[in-house]
Structure 1
C-alpha cells in the first residue's frame, strides 16, 4: 500500500535505529512489529472504535520516536526524505526534497511519476542515477550516489542520495525509501580547497621556474648577441644555429608560462580520455626544475598504455604535488621514480584498494626518502594533516589528491616504511575511448599578403613588440600606423586616414585600455575590425566570450606566422 503523505512515510532510514530502541526496551518483539504499529497509528480511520488501553504506552513511545526523528530532520537544512513505490512508479517526498529537486511540493506530497521526479537531474549524471536505481531494486543493501540537479533559474545543486529497498515475502521489490542531502556547499568548499592546494603548488614552482627562466633567457640573449657579432663580421652564414637556439629557448619559456597558468586556473573537473604517458613527458621539464638538481628523475612507461578518463589538469596537479612531497622527503637528494602501467584488478586486489574489479591505469610516484610510519600512513589523507614544519605545508595536498582520484572513480594506495622510501600509486579507471589519430604536420603555407592600400593601426606600449608587428606588416605589404598608448591611437582613429584593421594590446597605459579604444573607434568608424593582443592567456576564454562580431583575439607569445594569418583573417572575415 503506498504511503499517503511524505511526512508519514515512516522515515524508514531515520527511524530504523529508533525502532530498534523500542525493541530493546521491550515494547515490541521485533522491528517489524514496531513498524506495523507505526503504520496502524498513522492510517487508522478517525472514527474506528476499539480498545487501545493496552496499546497506549507503546503508541506514546512510538509517537515520541517519530516526532523526534521528524524534528531531527527538520533541524538540518538541505535534508529531506523520499519514497519510491514500485507498484505505481511514483515518488513521494517531503518539502526538503521538493525544494532540493525543484519540483512542486504539493505534487511531491501527492505522488509524482519517476520521469517527472528525475526531470531536473543533470544530463551527464542521469545515466549513472538510473543504473543505481535499477541496481537498488535488485540488491537489498543501502546504495548511495551523488549527482546534480539543475534548477529552472540555471543554478546547480549537488545531491547525495542514499536509499534502502524493501522486498515482500516473494523477494519482489515493494518500495525504496531514502534521504537526500544538499552537498552544494561542501562541493564549493572542496573547490576552494582544491584551488588553495593548487596555489600552494604554484608557490613551490616559483623557485625552480625562476632558475629555469634565467637559463632560457641566457640562451636567448646569448644567441642574439652572437648573431649580432657574426653579422658585424660579415659571417651571416653562421647565424642559423644561433637563431634556432634562441627560438627553441623562447618556445620552452612560453610552454613553462602556459603550464604555470594552467595550474593557477580555477576550474571544475572535466574528465576526458587522457594519455598519462604523454602527460608525464609534457611535465618532465617542469618536474625536474621543481625538484632541483639533487634529485634524479627516472621515468618508466609501459607501452602501449591504456587511456584513462580523468581531468588532465587535475592529474597534472596531483602528479606535481606527489613529486614535491617526494622531493621534501629527500632533503639530501635521491631518486624520484614515475611509473605508468596497465593494471587489471581481480576481486581480492580490488577490494584491498576499495575498488570494483576491472581495468585501471596505475600511475606511481616513488622516492628513496625518509618513508612513513604506519601511524602517519593512517592519517596521510586527512585534511590539514602534515608532518612538515609550520609554514612549510597546509596538509591539503594528499587529501585533495585523494578526493580528486575518488571522484574520478579510482583510489590512492600507499606503500612505505621508515627510512626506506615511499610509493604513492593512483589507480584510475581505464577509458575505452580514443584520442583520435594525430595528423602529420603540414608544410608552412605562404604568408598572405595585403591588398592594395590596406592599412593597419597598431597600438602597443611595448616598443619591441610594436616594432616586430610593424615589420611584419611592412613585409606583407600593409601600410602600418603606430601608437604607444590609447590616447595617441584615438587621435589617429579620429583622423581621416584609411584604417582597415585595428591591432591593439588589451592593457594600455594612460587610463584608456584596448577595449575602450576599440569601442570608441567603432563609434567613429562603424564596422571597424579589431584584433586584440593580450599576454593574459588564462583570461583568453573569458575575453573571447565578450567579443563582438568583427573582433578577434590573439594571445602572447605568438609567432610571426600566427600574427600574419590572424591579421589576414580579421581583415577578410565578413
Structure 2
C-alpha cells in the first residue's frame, strides 16, 4: 500500500510521530529519498545497525547490503519493485557498521504525494538473526535426525498416517522388507502381515491399541516383498500434534528371526535335557524296582517248585501251582524289559548286517503280523554294519512291527528302511561319528504331541487293559541307548509314525554266522556238597537254602559278606559259595575278592537281580540271574564244580516272553 506524505500536518503532530518512531527500538524505521539516500534514522536502526544519525544521514542505503547483493544490483531492484508494485519485502543478510552480518526482514514502501509524485521510501528492517539461528538449528536437527533414521539399517523405521498408510521409508525398512520407497509409500502397512493375521484383523488391532493406549508392541511373522516370512519385533507409537490431534503413527520393526531361532533351539535343547534327565531318573528307579522284584520272584519261584514236588499226588493243587509259575514267568519277562529300559541288560554286541537281519526274520514277522499287513524293505545297495546285539535287536524290531500293526488296525503297509548318517557336533545327544539309521514306518493313527512326549516311558500305553505292558518302546529305547545310539520317534495324529533306531556303525566286517552247536547240559556235580548261600534278603536266602537241600546238598546261610567270611575263617568246610551282588557294606564282588585271596580254590557264583552287573561288579565271576528256579540253580552248581567256562546261566524267563508291550 502506498503511503502519501501529509505536508499539512501541524508541527505538534509531526513531533508526536517523531517521538513514536524514535521510541521503537525493535525495528529500524527510516526514510530514503527517491535515489535511496537515507534522510531519517530512528533509535531502532541505530541499535542493531550500529550507525548514529549523523554518521548515516545522506548515505546510500545499499551500504547495508552484502557485497554480492550489491554486485547483483539488489538495492536498485528493491526500490524499483517497491515503486512499481507498491511494496517490496524480502529476507536476507545485511551488514552492520562493524562488518558483522545479521539476518533481516526488510519492507520498503513508496511514499507519494497526493498528486502521485514519488518523494521517497519508508524502510522498515527487523533483526531476525535469533529466529534464523533457531530455524537453522531446527533444520539441521531435522536433517541430522533424517540422516540418522535413514542410516539405521537394523531397524525398519517409518511413519503411518492415521489410516495406516506408509508416508516415509528408511533404508532399514528397505533392507528388511525389500520395498523401495517409491514402491511402498502410500500403501497400507497391512501388506506386511501374513494372510492369516490380516484375516484375524491384527493390523487394525495394532493401530487401535496404539491409538487408545499410545503404544502397541508385539512379535509375530511378517512378509517381505519376495513372499518370505521373518519373525519381527514391532512397536507402533501414536503421534499427536501440539493441539492433541492424532496425525499418525511411528512404526519400528526389527528382524528377530535369528534370535527367535536361537531361542527355539535353546528351548528344544532344554526340553531335550529335561527329557533326558527324566528318562535317566526313571531308568534308575526302574532298574532298582526290577532288581527288588527279581528277588521277590526268586523266592516265589523256588518255593512254588519245592511245593510242587511235595504235592505231586494232588492234581488240583498242581494246577494252581502251575498257574502261579506262569505268573512268575510273566513277571520275569516284565523285569527283563524294565532292565532293558534301564540299560542294565547284558548285551553281546558284534557287527550286524541289518539287511540280512531283517531278511532273516521277515518270514517270522509276516506270520506274527498276519496276512493283512504288507512289509516293504528299502535298503541301499551297500550299507555299513552296525555294532549291536543281534538277538536283542531282533526283539526290538519285533516290538516295533507289532506296534505298527496295532496302530493300523492289523492292515496296511509297514516300511522298514535304512541309511548311513554322519553326526557332527551340532547333535548334542549323540557323540560325533558314523551311524546307521534304521526306521520302521507305518500309516496308522499316529500320536498327538502329549502321547509322543511319553511314548518311551515305561508302563505308558494307549492300548486297552491286558493288550500291552507299556514296556515295548521303553525296551527299545534302553537297547539303543546302551548300544551307543538313540531312539527318534516322529508322529502326527492321523498320519502315522516313524520310529528310528540310530546305531553306531561297526568298524569290523560282520562274521559269517555258523550253525550254533547243540548246547549240552553240564554234568551234574558228583556227590553232595556243602554250599554257602549269602544274601541280605531273608526270603531269597531261605528259598535258596531250601532248593539246595532239596538237591541233596548241605546249605549254610549268611546274611552278609562279613558273616560269610567269619564262617569260613572259623574253619567251616565250604565247597561252593553262591552270593548275591547288591548287599550293603560289602557287595558280592567284594566278598568274592576276599574269598579268592584266602581260599582261592572255592568256586563262586554271583547271583544278581540285574541282567547286567552295576558299576563295580566282577564280570569274571559265573553269574546266576534272578529269578532262578531249581533247574537254573542246579545247572549253576554243576557248571561251577565242573570248571565250565564262566558263562551266565539264563534267567527263568527271557525278555522275549512278551513282544507286544508298547508305549503307544
Q: TM-score, normalised by structure 2?
A: 0.34
Higher RCO (C-alpha under 8 Å, 6+ residues apart): 2
Structure showing the higher helix proportion among its residues: 1
